[in-house]
Structure 1
Amino acid sequence: MKPDTPHHPAPADAAARKAVPPVVCYPVESLPQPDLAALQAARAGWRKTAEVLVPPRDARCFTVPAGHFLRITSVGGPQVGDLNLWNAADLSERFYSGKTRALHGTHLSTGDRMWSSFPTLRPLATITDDSLDWYGFDAFGLSVHDVIGTRCDPYTNTLLTGGQYHHCCHSNLTRALAAATGLPLHQAETHVHDVLNVFMCTGFSRQTGQYLMKASPVRPGDYLEFFAEIDLLGGLSACPGGDCSSEHSSDTAACHPLRIEVFAPQSPPAGWVSPQRNSYDRSHGSR
């Protein structure tokens, strides 16, 4: 945390230095844009092929074939979820929240993409609908579906409280991935990664820079929907913080299930082609 009183006096040109206008780090105008009209039109007549109910304070894995749709829906009461995505054929290719944040911003909504890790760096999924898109940014500077938090985990919980808690989202996702793949827990854990915080309402304090959360505006029936750009294995944890109005890693917060549905369109979206791996030659200047 930054000190309330700086240890060093401001230089004479401090105001001028602070007044330098910022620029966008990664202008994305050159990125190919998803054809949202084609994606949304492909939903007409779709057929549900799978449904998974994620129990409160637990996680489940699921698969989504390339060209299918995934919908995560709130059921029973306000609840946030922590989402991991992997290439179904190669767990080393996984969701890269940091690069997704750099490209699209701190919070995701319709038209944004979830990008994969190096060296592939390609879209894993595209958000096609978001029933909470009306929320925008509130008066506190907070919004929903963030890629700034990591995931609640037992290590930080032990660091801060000294206790042992096993139903943090990190542990939930570890158990779910181990069950889905047959990997031992300690190997599965290495593949669990920073998440998309589905339905979570978050931001940063302008005074201290600390990560903030508040009660999610999600209500039963609200959903976030994705289009799978490649064959995906997903993991979703119904966070033990419930709507995250007060704390993580809680046995007392009101928690509810989350519903996962997978839909197959009657035909692929017009013009859609599954994205190829990133074309960088990986020479890293050695040639």
Structure 2
Amino acid sequence: MGILLFAALAAGAAAAQVESADLAKFLPAEIDGWRPAAADELYTGDRIFEYIDGAGEVYRAYNYRSLLARRYARPGQPDIIADFFDMGVAADAFGVFTHGLEGARLDIGQGAVASEGQLSFWKDRYYISLYAETQTPEVRRALLGLGRVIAESIPGEGHRPGILALFPQGFDIRQARYFHRHVILNYHYFVASDNILFLDGRTEAALAASGDGVRKTYLLIVRYPSDEDAERARQSFEKSYLHTDAVRGAVEIKRGKWSAAVSRRAHLFIVFDAATREEARDILEKAAGKLAGLMIIAHPECVKRP
């Protein structure tokens, strides 16, 4: 038993070393005088909570495979942290990127945002977060340079989720959020404490808004494994959120804020905060109508997840 346990532990350690090396090859050994300050750290599964306790649940919700963390140091300058995530598939790399879209857009990788002392981007199945506790002019240049070097070292590109093609004109796809689970939905638009839409690893969802900063209308689109699953979720939503199980149509949740839902071909469409009943119905008609002319390819992993 002891020999078998030792062999299993040794095999696991060897596999971790290989995975660490596979990810480390994308990170440069030096950038503008910053060099690795210590050995890289590799995290998988629940071990991510040892590293980023507060935000670990977000990456778990996007089914991350592994995280390689490297600290760069340069005398007289703040350290720079590079967190390199293997998300398994491009859709989830894109998804976790959309979880935090605050900042200036940059042309790095397949999409990047930067704010004070931070830069994040995605490319292929990878999501990269770079940050420093303090921003100096040197740090800013190093973050940009590091981001470009890493992005260029990743040879391939991934596809954005096909579900985004269902949003009607007027919805800001650049600010759309893509996810699987209701904890992420509630972060961006609170619907209910309970998982009334039955979101899980087999579903894929996107949320986008139209309008300006004063007034916005939101459209949530969810793809389910089957027509029956989508219809079950619609009925649950109408009963729990619209507080009706008898009338299909738009409901005024608050004064001047209408909501409505419809299920079509394994998809659920929900409008939140429409200005009028007619606007809610029109958005649903346009979005659901797009299914007729499009072939939406499902997330490759969704059918496998619990």
TM range (shorter): under 0.3
Greater percentage in helix = 2
Q: Calculate the TM-score normalised by the size of structure 1.
A: 0.23
TM-score under structure 2 length normalisation: 0.22
